[in-house]
């Protein structure tokens, strides 16, 4: 099969799954929070924690500093809980999952057939354990037994609250506190599900872990919460994917991801984000207002974020690392592509606290159509961060002349022994480059995708192999029609 | 057999007439040289043949192997076998030369309905051509023309010519910016390409290239039309006397 045949010609994940759901009516008050908490049979401390977050959120103004425009969100017009009826009792074994839901993930190319993979029947994506989150609930988590043999815990966070209460209580909100920001506080109040990962000391997680988020129900928001804890000397590579149906209304996705890396632990977190971006006139699409942060609390720990962003009508997200442990390392590799009327304000924060901490930021922004693409990054060294080093490279590529690329770097240096480097460039896909490709028999769409892939190479190289292929294909699809 | 036939070609660039009733016929197996003073329209001819945007044909026709080319997309012309060796090859950062060559060959094969080239054979032939052109194999991993010297860029064009084996090669001042040794290497490459089945249209300012790639026909282009055609000796006359006597 030729590669072209594998590439869908439009947003292929835009279908709706017809399942009967239990959905809360729109609106947000304490009773909604109590309902969600009761639904998960949560302990009292967590209900209180949510209510506390809600009280704080009500006092906060929505942030307006990002370089994005959208009408004010009516938080009472959103439903905060929706779950397929068949999944009401929580995830059981794969055989118990509604076949309609399984088919949904099959259509999206997400392997949930653990049996076949284990038996070696399905070879295309081996060694990936998947937690599938559908609207507000996790419907299946694969390979749990195999992971358990290694001592790895990989389960829905709603389940971890019961099975590992001490870890959840200790680390939930330890990286992103309840009052951190407007959307994180909202998430803390209403989060419904998400993934929980714990890697015990000295364990190298035997397979890639992955969570696949799917929004299906209309007028609902998705508020998932992910918590990954890597104990001393452990390693985990985690992948995240997201899609949603094509709808004319905007839908809110306000997630929180917290990563904790102890001494000598490493967490590699990769995202290929393909939320519905809206149509070519800017109608519909997901508002992706997400808080992702990792804490390198142990010495010599390392957290690495790699993201490929092609989706969302609006992206507002800054995967960050707090470098507390001595000699800890933070990395951020990002490709953000905007086309048509998409808007992205994305980047990172590297907070250097421990001595000899290091961070690297490589950001590639691609703007096409009438989109606006902003990089916003903070590098801060505190007085304790002796010998801290940061290297930032921030490149923008423009396709056409109706889009925008913006860079907002913030550098706060409070330590005289630190070294901070910032490089930035802006370039344009030139007509001469396109003509050279065409003259060699390559049509303009392929040429643009080849040029863009070349531009993103430094980031793609950081992605796990199969994700890199997927990311390349996704860029190709997302760029369709970018050249008139 | 007529490979290229240009009739009464009038071309405007930015509203200004550059080619003004040009006629030219090239047969398979022949090498034509086009010389002429600065601003006579030589590069315009090369670009309009390749279909570069911004070159407007206001009158006349271009036929390639009997097909009217006037409105064909640049990639269609390439797929039909028309190749332009650029005067100033542009850089494509991050796209490796090898990847670019593979994409080009794959697309040309696909357009002709040929099977895709075998990857191992492909690598072998690229490496062997590169070696013939004195190009370090490392250069195949670098971005297309990225950080290449002027001479390397020109040799890279010839590498593409030898790999893609087009029907018609239009060489736009391939000799400019080359030292004597590099010129020799490039000329050897072009001569290796030369055959009974294909044809070459060379655009040059200097007779010295024609010592290395000997043309069958030499044309003089002035003010947008061909004012004189002759054999090899015409180039030598031009070298001795300049262009003025032809346009007076």
B90/A454 touch (CB, cutoff 8 Å), yes or no:
no
pLDDT of residue A414: 96
A439/B107 touch (CB, cutoff 8 Å), yes or no:
no
pLDDT higher at A467 or B45: B45
Residue A9 in this model has a pLDDT that exceeds 50: no
Mean pLDDT (whole number) for A137-165:
88
The fraction of chain A above a pLDDT of 90, given in percent, is 52
Mean pLDDT (whole number) for A225-248:
88
ipTM of the complex: 0.96
Chain mean pLDDT for chain A: 86
Domains assigned to chain B: 2-247 (3.40.50.300)
Mean pLDDT (whole number) for A34-57:
95
Give residue-wise pLDDT tens across range B13-56: 999 999 999 999 999 999 999 999 888 999 999 999 999 999 99
Q: How confident is the model at residue B158 (pLDDT cuts 50, 70, 90)?
A: very high
Residue A124 in this model has a pLDDT that exceeds 80: no
Q: How confident is the model at residue A466 (pLDDT cuts 50, 70, 90)?
A: low
Mean pLDDT (whole number) for B152-177:
95
Q: Is A426 helix (H, G, I), strand (E, B) or coil?
A: strand
CB contacts of A455 in chain B (<8 Å) are: 93-94
Gap between the terminal Cα atoms of chain B: 35
Q: Which of residues 145-204 of B touch A (CB under 8 A)?
A: 160, 164
Residue of A nearest to B160 (CA): A440
Give residue-wise pLDDT tens across range A419-447: 999 999 998 888 899 999 999 999 988 89
Give residue-wise pLDDT tens across range A386-402: 999 999 999 999 988 89
CB contacts of A432 in chain B (<8 Å) are: 90
CB contacts of A451 in chain B (<8 Å) are: 92, 94-95
CB contacts of A439 in chain B (<8 Å) are: 50, 74-75, 77-78, 83-84, 86
Give residue-wise pLDDT tens across range A58-78: 999 999 889 998 888 899 988
pLDDT of residue B153: 93
pLDDT of residue A130: 80
pLDDT of residue A112: 67
Residue A119 in this model has a pLDDT that exceeds 50: no
Mean pLDDT (whole number) for A202-212:
90
C-alpha dihedral, A349 to A352 to A353 to A358, nearest 10°: 140
The fraction of chain A above a pLDDT of 70, given in percent, is 89
pLDDT of residue B159: 96
Residue A54 in this model has a pLDDT that exceeds 70: yes
Question: Considering only CA atoms, which of A260, A213, A222 is closest in space to residue A241?
Answer: A213
Mean pLDDT (whole number) for A189-202:
94
Mean pLDDT (whole number) for B103-125:
90
Residues with Cβ within 8 Å of residue A462, at least 6 apart in sequence = A270, A304, A306, A331, A333
Angle (CA) A104-A193-A46 rounded to 5° is 165
User: Minimum mean pLDDT among A2-16, A355-369, A428-442, A468-482: which range?
Assistant: A2-16
Residue A335 in this model has a pLDDT that exceeds 80: yes
pLDDT of residue A5: 32
Q: How far apart are CA A266 and CA A232, in angstroms?
A: 9
pLDDT of residue A181: 96
Give residue-wise pLDDT tens across range A152-167: 999 989 999 999 999 9
Q: Which of residues 37-56 of B touch A (CB under 8 A)?
A: 50-53
C-alpha dihedral, A322 to A176 to A231 to A382, nearest 10°: 20
Q: How confident is the model at residue A127 (pLDDT cuts 50, 70, 90)?
A: low
A450/B95 touch (CB, cutoff 8 Å), yes or no:
yes
Mean pLDDT (whole number) for A403-427:
94
pLDDT higher at A29 or A94: A29
Minimal Cβ distance to B78: which of A438, A451, A456: A438
Please report, for chain A, how many H helices and E strands are present, in that order.
Answer: 13, 23
Q: How far apart are CA B213 and CA B187, in angstroms?
A: 6
Residue of B nearest to A458 (CA): B94
Assess B117–A contact: CB distance below 8 Å, yes or no. Answer: no
Backbone φ and ψ of A184, nearest 5°: -70, -35
CB contacts of A437 in chain B (<8 Å) are: 92, 100, 103-104
- Interface residues from chain A to B (CB-CB < 8 Å): 2, 427, 430-433, 435-444, 446, 450-451, 453-457
pLDDT higher at A131 or B185: B185
Residue B205 in this model has a pLDDT that exceeds 50: yes
CB contacts of A457 in chain B (<8 Å) are: 94
Q: How far apart are CA A196 and CA A356, in angstroms?
A: 30
pLDDT higher at A471 or B217: B217
Residue A7 in this model has a pLDDT that exceeds 80: no
Q: At what angle do helices B180-193 and B119-132 cross, to 10 degrees?
A: 140
Give residue-wise pLDDT tens across range B65-112: 999 999 999 999 999 999 999 999 999 988 999 999 999 999 999 998
3-state secondary structure chain B: CEEEEEEEEEEEECCEEEEEEEEEEEECCCEEEEECCCCCCHHHHHHHHHCCCCEEEEEEEEEECCEECCCCCHHHHHHHCEEEECCCCCCEEEEEHHHHHHHHHHHHHHHHCCCCCCHHHHHHHHHHHHHHCCCCHHHHCCEECCCCCHHHHHHHHHHHHHHHCCCEEEEECCCCCCCHHHHHHHHHHHHHHCCCCCEEEEECCCCHHHHHCCCCEEEEEECCEEEEEECHHHHHHHHHHCCHHHHC
Mean pLDDT (whole number) for A233-248:
83
């Amino acid at each position: 099969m030729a590669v072209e045949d594998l590439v869908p010609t439009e947003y292929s994940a835009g279908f709706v799954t017809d399942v009967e759901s239990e959905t809360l009516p729109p609106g947000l008050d304490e009773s909604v929070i109590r309902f969600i908490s009761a639904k998960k049979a949560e302990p009292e401390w967590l209900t209180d924690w949510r209510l506390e977050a809600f009280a704080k959120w009500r006092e906060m103004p929505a942030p307006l500093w990002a370089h994005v425009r959208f009408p004010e969100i009516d938080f009472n017009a959103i439903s905060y809980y929706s779950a397929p009826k068949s999944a009401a009792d929580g995830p059981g074994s794969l055989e118990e999952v509604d076949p309609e839901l399984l088919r949904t993930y099959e259509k999206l190319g997400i392997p949930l057939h653990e049996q076949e993979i284990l038996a070696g029947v399905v070879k295309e994506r081996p060694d990936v354990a998947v937690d599938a989150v559908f609207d507000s609930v996790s419907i299946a988590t694969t390979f749990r037994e195999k992971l358990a043999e290694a001592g790895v815990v990989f389960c829905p966070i709603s389940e971890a609250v019961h099975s590992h209460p001490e870890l959840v209580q200790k680390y939930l909100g330890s990286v992103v506190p309840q009052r951190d920001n407007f959307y994180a506080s909202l998430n803390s109040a209403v989060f419904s599900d998400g993934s929980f990962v714990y890697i015990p000391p000295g364990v190298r997680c035997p397979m890639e872990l992955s969570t696949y988020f799917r929004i299906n129900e209309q007028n609902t928001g998705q508020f998932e919460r992910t918590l990954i804890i890597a104990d001393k000397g452990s390693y985990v590579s985690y992948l995240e994917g997201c899609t949603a149906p094509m709808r004319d209304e905007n839908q809110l996705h306000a997630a929180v991801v917290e990563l904790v890396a102890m001494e000598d632990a490493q967490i590699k977190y990769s995202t290929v984000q393909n939320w519905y971006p809206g149509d070519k006139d800017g109608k519909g699409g997901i508002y992706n207002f997400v808080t992702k942060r990792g804490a390198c609390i142990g010495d010599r720990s390392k957290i690495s974020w790699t993201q490929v962003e092609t989706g969302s009508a609006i992206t507002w997200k800054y995967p960050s690392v707090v470098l507390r442990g001595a000699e800890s390392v933070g990395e951020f590799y990002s490709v953000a592509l905007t086309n048509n009327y998409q808007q992205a304000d994305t980047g990172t924060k590297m907070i250097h606290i421990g001595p000899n901490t290091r961070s690297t930021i490589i950001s590639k922004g691609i703007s096409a159509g009438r989109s606006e693409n902003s990089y916003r990054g903070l590098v801060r060294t505190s007085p304790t961060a002796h010998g801290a080093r940061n290297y930032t490279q921030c490149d923008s590529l423009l396709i056409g002349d109706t889009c925008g690329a913006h860079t907002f770097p913030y550098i706060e240096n409070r330590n005289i022994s630190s070294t901070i480097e910032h490089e930035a460039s802006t370039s344009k896909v030139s007509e001469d480059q396109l003509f050279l490709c065409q003259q060699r028999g390559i049509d303009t769409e392929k040429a643009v995708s080849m040029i863009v892939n070349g531009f993103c190479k430094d980031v793609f190289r950081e992605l796990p192999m199969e994700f890199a292929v997927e990311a390349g294909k996704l860029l190709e699809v997302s760029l369709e029609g970018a050249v008139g | 057999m007529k490979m290229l036939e240009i009739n009464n070609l009038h071309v405007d660039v930015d509203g200004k007439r550059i080619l003004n009733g040009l006629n030219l016929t090239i047969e398979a197996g022949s090498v034509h040289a086009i010389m002429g003073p600065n601003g006579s329209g030589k590069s315009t001819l090369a670009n309009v043949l390749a279909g570069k945007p911004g070159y407007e044909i206001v009158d006349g026709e271009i036929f390639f192997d009997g097909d009217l080319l006037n409105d064909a997309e640049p990639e269609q012309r390439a797929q039909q076998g028309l190749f332009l060796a650029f005067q100033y090859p542009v850089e494509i950062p991050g796209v490796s030369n090898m990847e670019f060559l593979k994409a080009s060959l794959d697309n040309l094969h696909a357009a002709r309905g040929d099977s895709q080239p075998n990857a191992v054979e492909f690598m072998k032939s690229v490496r062997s051509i590169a070696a013939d052109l004195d190009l370090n194999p490392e250069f195949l991993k670098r971005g297309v023309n990225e950080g290449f010297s002027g001479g390397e860029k020109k040799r890279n064009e010839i590498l593409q010519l030898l790999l893609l084996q087009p029907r018609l090669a239009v060489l736009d001042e391939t000799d400019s910016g080359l030292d004597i040794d590099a010129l020799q290497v490039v000329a050897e490459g072009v001569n290796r390409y030369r055959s009974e089945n294909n044809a070459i249209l060379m655009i040059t300012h200097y007779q010295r290239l024609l010592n290395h790639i000997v043309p069958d026909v030499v044309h003089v282009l002035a003010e947008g039309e061909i004012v004189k055609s002759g054999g090899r000796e015409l180039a030598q006359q031009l070298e001795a006397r300049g262009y003025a006597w032809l346009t007076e």
